[in-house]
């Protein structure tokens, strides 16, 4: 799954640069959370039908799960890059202290989530059935998608003047470069 990030990480960065901030983040969030939910549903289907599915179908389902996992991982990278390398820099770029503090806080949140998520997921899986665990994970991702979209939209509206000028600023820079260097032939 990390191979997908190595192969397509640059394309993700280019895509983020070419798109407006909020729509790009929303698309990445949809793909990330819904991919995980779809994977959980596929796991439920595989577990429910495991006794009569031929072994090659289980391999096909596993391949599909890996493919969807790659999409989820790439979407996760897009979300992280959008927030830490784009939004935060746009909000605090000239204020080095706030930029450093915000990046440190985001990194702390990321690390804590990376530790707690497997522990909580393991607890859910240990105390419930595999089927119920998959359903809970799918449901959690849909619910968290709604909260994440709400919170990011609020931040965007709060700092609209700073965050909304990404595309126009990039086009202005291109025009300045063309004026200095002449038209590209």
The reply to whether the predicted model has a pTM over 0.75 is: yes
Q: Provide, for the chain, the percentages of residues in helix, strand and coil under a 3-state DSSP scheme, each rounded to the nearest 5.
A: 90, 0, 10
| Burial class of 6 by CB neighbour count within 10 A (0 to 12, 13 to 18, 19+) | exposed
* C-alpha span between 101 and 122 (Å, rounded): 32
Average pLDDT over residues 155-173: 67
Tens of pLDDT, residues 135-155: 899 999 999 999 999 999 998
pLDDT range class, residue 71, cuts 50, 70, 90: very high
* C-alpha span between 156 and 12 (Å, rounded): 21
* C-alpha span between 114 and 117 (Å, rounded): 6
Q: Which of 44-48, 68-72, 173-177 has the highest mean pLDDT?
A: 68-72
Res. 96: pLDDT tops 80 = yes
φ, ψ (nearest 5 deg) of residue 19:
-110, 160
């Amino acid at each position: 799954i990390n191979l997908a990030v190595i192969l397509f990480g640059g394309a993700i960065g280019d895509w983020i640069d070419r798109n407006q901030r909020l729509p790009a983040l929303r698309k990445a969030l949809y793909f990330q959370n819904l991919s995980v939910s779809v994977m959980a549903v596929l796991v439920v289907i595989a577990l429910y039908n495991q006794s009569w599915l031929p072994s090659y179908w289980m391999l096909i389902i596993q391949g599909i799960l890996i493919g969807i996992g790659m999409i989820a991982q790439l979407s996760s990278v897009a979300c992280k890059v959008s927030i830490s390398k784009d939004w935060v820099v746009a909000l605090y770029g000239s204020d080095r202290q706030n930029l450093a503090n915000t990046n440190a806080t985001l990194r702390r949140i990321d690390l804590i989530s990376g530790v707690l998520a497997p522990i909580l997921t393991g607890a859910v899986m240990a105390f419930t059935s595999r089927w119920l665990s998959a359903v809970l994970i799918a449901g959690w991702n849909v619910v968290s998608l709604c909260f994440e979209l709400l919170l990011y939209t609020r931040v965007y509206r709060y700092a609209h003047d700073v965050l909304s000028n990404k595309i126009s600023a990039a086009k202005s820079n291109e025009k300045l470069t063309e004026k200095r260097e002449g038209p590209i032939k």
